[in-house]
Structure 1
């Protein structure tokens, strides 16, 4: 079977530029943080929607910064896998991509001001730091994505922090339960980055990047990815055993088939196009896990 990468047209150019398979990394923690808050207060859905839209825009903008700076550094070409391809395949001006990214940042900042006005202005500082991390992940002279700390930064800022903020804007506080339940989100967002870096190891090494996957080697990187998955599920089981969360949260186990499939694909194949489904399934795992965890909390609340 021959694999090929074709150019997009029309609205698909702009949709692919957002890298839709990564947007779940923004949706999942917002949903989870809000469901955790159910045990403490009634939900303000205007704040939930504002947080969700702002997070999705920041994630999409981060992807566009990635698209722009990888092109500017000569890392992407028309055969590159996992990119939006707006610049190298579809002929969109690099300046347009960069301007669109800053526009999304601007809109999310305005939404952030509304959230702050309804909650706490301290979130302005937290949001600014998160947006800076999104930009410097691939932008600036020393992009985070080129270091061994990509998984750490993405996990903390796109996984842990978003859950905590989503919880805080509803409750005005941070609880121990919220912190504990943000741990799997941290690991699974880090897993998305790790799967991406495993897929891109050859190209990244040729470009001089020093990602964690490159430093430890492919077999160890796949094992680290497996550990991210295993620890996420084991963490929930442990919390249930010690009585920190309801047994309904064990619904997350229904999603376990996905990471099993991901690891199997990464161990069988190494070509970027062949492992692309595994990278996408890693994002699906993050979404299903957070959704099922949130549903478990919701059921417990209703009962």
Structure 2
């Protein structure tokens, strides 16, 4: 395995190469919806722990595999280089063979499919159809002739599948049904996962434009994209407050408001910045907003369950 030096990013060594390849900072976008969907199901149903664990691991593997497909195809298209910000860097910095990255992603898909089979046997065959669609979206996000990530639909599609769909599957496999309330509680995570993708596209705006991508950030411009990001944060928190007022979720979930400094930090971190490396803290704060929002809502639901 060869190594490269970079003025901006040092090569990883040993197990860190493989850990960074999963892009661990993005994995919260898959486990937070599983936790939230399960916590909401807990209000109405006894939780099957083995199914919960299978769902959690499967989603993490699909997310990690999606990141590896991203790494492979961006390298294959000549988009990644040693100084690229926000990538795992296994291929361009650490000398891992591209084929190895692709094969590892496919292995992760295979394991998640086996876990999915266990979930299907325990719940419904409809999960097979939905799971297959989710895996296809994960692949075609950066793979195929017209990657989803290169279009204006990246935020909506990623938010829908990683927010709404994962939450509803997590809820369904525990309760056996889908309710209006379970859909309503998934909306803020749908928005916040989309915000992670938008923040990524704001950071990569100049490079993406040069490579012919047509992301939302490119189409509306950096300033408007930052305004859109701020609006998405505002709607997410207001949505939760409305759910509490409608008595769909417990007032305990309002502890989520403690995470408000994070989206503020994210928006401020993008304003006036043009270099990708300058925007990394803002993008990290966006991902953390989704993490803390989802975890605090989950904790609020759990507290409500305990004091019933």
TM-score by length of 2: 0.96
Moved over 4 A (4+): none
Q: 1:35 aligns with which of 28, 36, 39?
A: 39
The reply on whether 1:202 has 2:206 as its aligned counterpart is yes
Q: 1:211 aligns with which of 186, 208, 215?
A: 215
Deviation at 1:277, TM superposition (A): 1.3
Q: Encode CA deviations 1:258-303: one digit per residue, 9 max, x unaligned.
A: 0000000100322111111111111111111011101111111222
Match of 2:263 in 1: 259
The reply on whether 1:69 has 2:90 as its aligned counterpart is no
Match of 1:45 in 2: 49
The reply on whether 1:103 has 2:124 as its aligned counterpart is no
Q: Distance in 1 between matches of 2:253 and 2:272?
A: 32
Match of 1:276 in 2: 280
Q: 2:296 aligns with which of 285, 292, 297?
A: 292
TM-score by length of 1: 0.98
Q: Distance in 1 between matches of 2:135 and 2:113?
A: 9
Q: Distance in 2 between matches of 1:243 and 1:12?
A: 45
CA RMSD of aligned residues (A): 0.8
**Equivalent pairs, count:** 301
The reply on whether 1:118 has 2:122 as its aligned counterpart is yes
* Local SS of the residue matching 2:271: helix
Q: Distance in 1 between matches of 2:241 and 2:266?
A: 21
Q: Distance in 1 between matches of 2:269 and 2:284?
A: 12
The reply on whether 1:84 has 2:76 as its aligned counterpart is no
* Local SS of the residue matching 2:90: coil
Correspondence 1:146-185 to 2 at 5 A: 146-185=150-189
Q: Encode CA deviations 1:188-218: one digit per residue, 9 max, x unaligned.
A: 0000000000000011000000001000000
Match of 2:224 in 1: 220
Q: Encode CA deviations 1:123-172: one digit per residue, 9 max, x unaligned.
A: 00000000000000000000000000000100000111000000001000
Match of 1:7 in 2: 11
Q: Distance in 1 between matches of 2:296 and 2:222?
A: 31
Q: Distance in 1 between matches of 2:148 and 2:80?
A: 17
* Local SS of the residue matching 1:268: coil
Q: Distance in 2 between matches of 1:158 and 1:217?
A: 25
Q: Encode CA deviations 1:4-63: one digit per residue, 9 max, x unaligned.
A: 211111111100000000000001000000000011111111111100000000000000
Match of 1:189 in 2: 193
Q: Encode CA deviations 1:235-261: one digit per residue, 9 max, x unaligned.
A: 011111222221111111011110000
Q: Distance in 1 between matches of 2:87 and 2:284?
A: 12
Q: Distance in 2 between matches of 1:241 and 1:122?
A: 34
The runs of 5 or more residues in structure 2 that have no matched partner are: 1-6
Q: Distance in 2 between matches of 1:253 and 1:209?
A: 35
Compare 41-50 and 269-278 and name the one that shifted more.
269-278
Match of 2:4 in 1: none
Q: Distance in 1 between matches of 2:150 and 2:195?
A: 16
Q: Distance in 2 between matches of 1:270 and 1:169?
A: 44
The reply on whether 1:237 has 2:241 as its aligned counterpart is yes
